[in-house]
Amino acid sequence: MSNLMKVLYLEVLMDYNYVEHYELMAALATDPRIIESAVLYNFVDDQMYAALMDRMSQAFSDGSPSPLSSRSPGSGHSILAEAVIHIQSLQAHEINLMGYLVWIQLYRMLGVEIASAEYPVINLVFKRTFDAINSNLLAQIPLGTEIRSTIDPSLVVYTIETAEIMGQDVTVNVPARLNRRGTILDLRIGEFTDLPRLLAFVESVTNDGVVYSQGREKETLSLAMLRGREEFRIGKRCVTLSDYYTTAMQVVGAKKCNVVRGYQYGTSGTFNDLVTVVIYPGEMTTIADAAIRPRSMEDDRLSIIAAEIIPIDGDMTIRVVAHLSDNQAFDLAAQAIIDKVNPPSGIWQNRNLADTLVDAIEQVEGIYAVTQIHLKNSLTNVSLENIEVQPWHLFEIKDSFNIKIIRN
């Protein structure tokens, strides 16, 4: 066995993670365009057995026949040869498996790391005693205060910030982490109320059901591979507008995104060095900012804003086939609007919303014409023609939209 083989073999012996290995191989096998790999240690049992039996049946140098010339599988030397080949074959299989640690090292070389497990973080509400409020006494909650679950005795949370209740405040919110890693499964509101050590001027503590972070299990090899591929595809920087788009959609996980150069939210004019990233849903803007800003170019100014959704209602008359009931026709039209017009579908800065809407509805089987349509902003009652549409605008047809159905 060569030195390289020995190293490889030891590495294999170090960690047998068959499940991860086969999961990774299965993930690779789903993509038929990936280059096939040759088998590292090619070992065919039948051929090796036949070769060994051939060698044993060779005549001796003095011409006398070999005593091991029988090919019968009942003979003793055949049983022995078979056992040897079988053990060699098992070893070959082991060498062909690449160990978990080897994969991790390969991924590390490429810059991908296995994301480790994370603790879930929940919110705790500490309440100050009535006396302390009256006497204007400060209640302090130190870092690492332990609060036990009243349901599961092994479950404990620790505060991860120092907090104080002062002035006229009654309560304070403090984030706390659980004592186990992995995703949180069933958290009951009011579960964490047991303070094993009394805190001065603190009357009670409870969890109000707010979960800051769900926690995370350790990443598997196949997930790391997929994440790594995405990272290689876009790199870790945003240069072109499509880089911004891909980062927002795949790294941040936005449902819809628009990237424009030159427009600034709230003002008119052209700004050549400004990139504006519009994110839908708007709650993800902060996360998107944290993810995209470190990747942007130094010369580019960056603005990350939430999508503005213009609520639309109005009325529309549709012609349907005779056998369709009013309810059925309405449901079909509503489904077409949800699928094709309302966010996260729909088009950014849609200057032809009426056309888009008519196209979506006329594609439905059973509705063959939209005879009349009128659209307006449902809050301000401004007609659609008078709305100045901007790149950060999305339209949403509200349920107050009136659909009139006629048939003939």
Partner 1 sequence: MNIVSGTRKITSDILTVCLTRKGERPLHPTYGIAPELFEPLSNYAPQYWIYQISQEILNWVEGIEQLSVNTFDYEDYKNRLGTEISFIPQNVPDVNVLTFGFYEYQGAVWNQSLDIFMDGVALNGSRFIFP
CA distances in angstroms from 116 to 22, 108, 142, 186, 221, listed in the order given: 21, 14, 27, 22, 12
The runs of H, that is alpha helices, within 30-175 are: 45-56, 76-96, 100-110, 130-134
- Contacts with partner 1 in 214-253 (CB under 8 A)? none
Smaller CB separation from partner 1, 76 or 266 = 76
Across the strands, what pairs with 377?
312
What is the closest distance, in whole angstroms, from the C-beta atom of residue 80 to partner 1 in the complex? 12
What is the closest distance, in whole angstroms, from the C-beta atom of residue 72 to partner 1 in the complex? 6
Smaller CB separation from partner 1, 14 or 59 = 59
Stretch in the footprint of partner 1 (CB under 8 A) among 64-72, 166-174, 245-253, 274-282: 64-72
- Contacts with partner 1 in 6-25 (CB under 8 A)? none
Asked whether position 49 contacts partner 1 by CB under 8 A, the answer is yes
Closest CA to 186 of 116, 117, 120: 120
Site string (349-368) toward partner 1, x via CB under 8 A = --------------------
What is the closest distance, in whole angstroms, from the C-beta atom of residue 91 to partner 1 in the complex? 14
CA distance 46 to 67: 22
Site string (151-180) toward partner 1, x via CB under 8 A = ------------------------------
- Contacts with partner 1 in 27-46 (CB under 8 A)? 45-46
What is the closest distance, in whole angstroms, from the C-beta atom of residue 224 to partner 1 in the complex? 36
CB atoms within 10 A of CB 93: 11
Task: Please count the residues of this chain forming the interface with partner 1, following the rule CB under 8 A.
Answer: 15
Smaller CB separation from partner 1, 81 or 405 = 81
What is the closest distance, in whole angstroms, from the C-beta atom of residue 50 to partner 1 in the complex? 10
Residue 265 in contact with residue 247, Cβ under 8 Å? Answer: no
What is the closest distance, in whole angstroms, from the C-beta atom of residue 61 to partner 1 in the complex? 18
CA distance 405 to 335: 15
Smaller CB separation from partner 1, 79 or 297 = 79
What is the closest distance, in whole angstroms, from the C-beta atom of residue 39 to partner 1 in the complex? 19
| Residue whose pair of structure tokens reads 């997929």 in the numeric block | 226
Strand 139-141 vs strand 171-178: parallel, antiparallel, or unpaired?
unpaired
Smaller CB separation from partner 1, 75 or 390 = 75
Asked whether position 85 contacts partner 1 by CB under 8 A, the answer is yes
Closest CA to 371 of 330, 315, 318, 314: 318
Closest CA to 157 of 189, 122, 182: 122
Strand stretches in 160-237, DSSP E: 163-165, 171-178, 192-194, 202-213
3-class DSSP assignment, residue 133: helix
Q: One-letter amino acid identity for 232?
A: F
Question: Exposure of 320 by Cβ count < 10 A (0-12 exposed, 13-18 middle, 19+ buried)?
Answer: buried
Smaller CB separation from partner 1, 87 or 101 = 87
What is the closest distance, in whole angstroms, from the C-beta atom of residue 79 to partner 1 in the complex? 7
- Contacts with partner 1 in 65-84 (CB under 8 A)? 67, 70, 72-76, 79, 82-83
Q: One-letter amino acid identity for 31?
A: D
Asked whether position 107 contacts partner 1 by CB under 8 A, the answer is no
What is the closest distance, in whole angstroms, from the C-beta atom of residue 98 to partner 1 in the complex? 25
Binding region for partner 1 (CB under 8 A): 45-46, 49, 67, 70, 72-76, 79, 82-83, 85-86
